[in-house]
Structure 1
Amino acid sequence: MKPTLSLPRPSTARLPKPPQEPEVLGQEITLPSSRLLQGRKSIQIEHNGALYQLRATKFGKLILTK
């Protein structure tokens, strides 16, 4: 009797979704806010040497302050 080769079974676990690519419309790029915030309630954005804070409110609005 020949020995049989036992291969591991493919995982049934789902792989995480790849990051969303920005949607390009002409010269503009659309990014989902979830990609910017990555689960946080706020982030800091540096623009032209100044810091801005982008915050998500509990009502789903975005606020950008300097």
Structure 2
Amino acid sequence: MDPSSKPSDPSGERAGPDSAPAAGAQAASLSSAEILRGHKAVEIRHNGLTYRLQATRLGKLILTK
């Protein structure tokens, strides 16, 4: 196997940094404080789109496109 190629999942698609965890695999867990790092909102780029994750005054999270 070429060392520069990424491993494939069982469906034959190449796994990438934006790919979902495989069935049965444990997803990474981050606290909102780790993601927001003291900011009220952050922008998240995913599949060519930008999303905004915002913390409200009531402590809830809103994710918008």
What is the TM-score when the length of structure 1 is the normalising length? 0.60
Q: Which runs of 5+ in 2 are unaligned?
A: 1-24
Report whether the alignment pairs 1:53 with 2:52: yes
Aligned pairs, number: 41
**Cα RMSD between the aligned structures?**
0.8
Q: Percent identity?
A: 51
What CA deviation, in whole Å up to 9, does each residue of 1:3-58 have, x standing for no partner?
xxxxxxxxxxxxxxxxxxxxxxx431110000000000000000000000000000
Pairing of 1:26-37 with structure 2 (within 5 A): 26-37=25-36
| Rg comparison, structure with higher value | 1
Task: Tell me the SS of whatever aligns to 2:28.
Answer: strand
4+ aligned runs moved over 6 Å, structure 1: none
In structure 2, distance between residues paired with 1:27 and 1:46: 22
Q: Which runs of 5+ in 1 are unaligned?
A: 1-25
Aligned to 1:41: 40
In structure 1, distance between residues paired with 2:29 and 2:60: 17
